[in-house]
Chains A and B, each alone.
Chain A
Amino acid sequence: DAKTTQPTSMDCAEGRAANLPCNHSTISGNEYVYWYRQIHSQGPQYIIHGLKNNETNEMASLIITEDRKSSTLILPHATLRDTAVYYCIVRLHNTDKLIFGTGTRLQVFP
């Protein structure tokens, strides 16, 4: 079973920041937080991952709370092409399992 809880859906205006929350209250000390997204009719795409510290790459930023029980994925300037289902996943760094939940369906509107 997925170890994360995400809102079913969210809307965001184009050009604004999209902040997608994720709760993972049972996360253990050696588990990482990963984010993937799946655009309609495509396979999932890796976005970012982190353990304790906040992370940033060319796609997004990941903010993890100090107690690590929740995190937020930030798309700083959402575009229409960012419309997708976003999956927050908790996994051990040295395991092969990516367990997907139901994710958050983000709709970016003009």
Chain B
Amino acid sequence: ETGVTQTPRHLVMGMTNKKSLKCEQHLGHNAMYWYKQSAKKPLELMFVYSLEERVENNSVPSRFSPECPNSSHLFLHLHTLQPEDSALYLCASSQDPANTEAFFGQGTRLTVV
């Protein structure tokens, strides 16, 4: 238990569906992150939020839309995904973007059919 909880743990969606991934941290951290981990590839940083403000967007397609309503919650809204978007999506948090230690959730295993 890392203090970062992601739901759902598994998700299967069609290419025309709209779904959302949720991340919640109980650590009092101010920075939250979305990472993508595809099979046989390193983790890729997608988005960074600091104090609910997006501070980084690493050229992620617009079919991925993050939302950070408060410092404890982070969402990733998904729409019109492609099969190649199937991956493990990991949320992380840290005290602030300059902090040394990031805590990761267990991830959501997404399959796009």
Query: A residues touching B (Cβ–Cβ < 8 Å)?
Result: 2, 32, 34, 41-46, 49, 93-103
CB nearest neighbor in B for A102:
B42
Would A44 and B104 be within 8 Å (CB), given that A2-B42, A97-B45 are in contact?
yes
* Chain B residues within 8 Å of A32, by CB: 100
Q: Is the CB of A101 within 8 A of B50?
A: no
Chain B: residues with Cβ within 8 Å of the partner, total of 25
Pick the residue among A43, A97, A99, A101 that contacts B90 (CB under 8 A): A43
Query: B residues touching A (Cβ–Cβ < 8 Å)?
Result: 2, 4, 31, 33, 42-43, 45, 48, 50, 55-56, 90-92, 94, 97-98, 100-107
Pick the residue among A43, A46, A96 that contacts B48 (CB under 8 A): A96
* Chain A residues within 8 Å of B106, by CB: 41-43
Q: Is the CB of A94 within 8 A of B107?
A: no
* Chain B residues within 8 Å of A34, by CB: 100
Q: Is the CB of A46 within 8 A of B102?
A: yes
Q: Is the CB of A96 within 8 A of B104?
A: no
CB nearest neighbor in A for B99:
A96
